[in-house]
Structure 1
Amino acid sequence: MTVTLYRLEGCPYCEYVVDELDELGVEFDSIWVEGLHSKRDEVKSVTGQRQVPVLVDDEYGISMSQSARIIEYLRTTYGDAASRDAVEIEG
């Protein structure tokens, strides 16, 4: 599983996502981006825009921005409900 978070130091929205990743026990790589929007070319190449946070989940082929959407995705995909569904399918 490869989850990557594009984030900016001091960004509270990025920290909300980091807190959720930590709470769910999801391992992730951080890519720190430039403070100036005009220099966030790496983020733009992933999502077409320069805002952070941006989450890329290679396992599911997902890339998204906006902390609320990212947190909802993480809870749905990696939260307790997702774990229960996996056990029911396997069992």
Structure 2
Amino acid sequence: MSVRLYALDGCPFCETVHEALNDAGVAYEMEWVGALHSERNEVKRVSGQRGVPVLVDEDRGVTMAESANIVEYVERTLA
């Protein structure tokens, strides 16, 4: 499985997703992003926007933002 989470240190929404992934036992890579939106070129490249969290599930061809949507996806699809 190839799952990647783009997150900002100290972001409560990112922490919610991180906890959901851990609770579900999902193996994933963490990509830490810069605090300035202008520094988030990689996030923009993969998701079309600069906000975090962003989850990329390469195996299923899914890229998504918004922590509530990501948590629901993790619980329904990856758990």
TM-score, structure 1 length as denominator?
A: 0.85
Number of positions where the alignment pairs a residue of Structure 1 with one of Structure 2: 79
**Structure 2: stretches of 5+ with no match in the other structure:** none
**Structure 1: stretches of 5+ with no match in the other structure:** 80-91
Quote the RMSD (CA, aligned, Å): 0.6
For residue 77 of structure 1, what is the aligned residue in structure 2? 77
Segments ≥4 residues shifted beyond 3 Å: none
Could you say what secondary structure the match of 1:31 adopts? strand
Could you say what secondary structure the match of 1:26 adopts? coil
For residue 53 of structure 2, what is the aligned residue in structure 1? 53
Superposed CA offset, 1:65-87 (max 9, x none): 000000011111023xxxxxxxx
Q: Percent identity?
A: 52
For residue 65 of structure 2, what is the aligned residue in structure 1? 65
Q: In structure 2, what is the Cα distance between the partners aligned to 1:56 and 1:22? A: 16
The Cα of 1:58 is off from its aligned counterpart by 0.7
TM-score, structure 2 length as denominator?
A: 0.97
Question: Whose radius of gyration is greater, 1 or 2?
Answer: 1
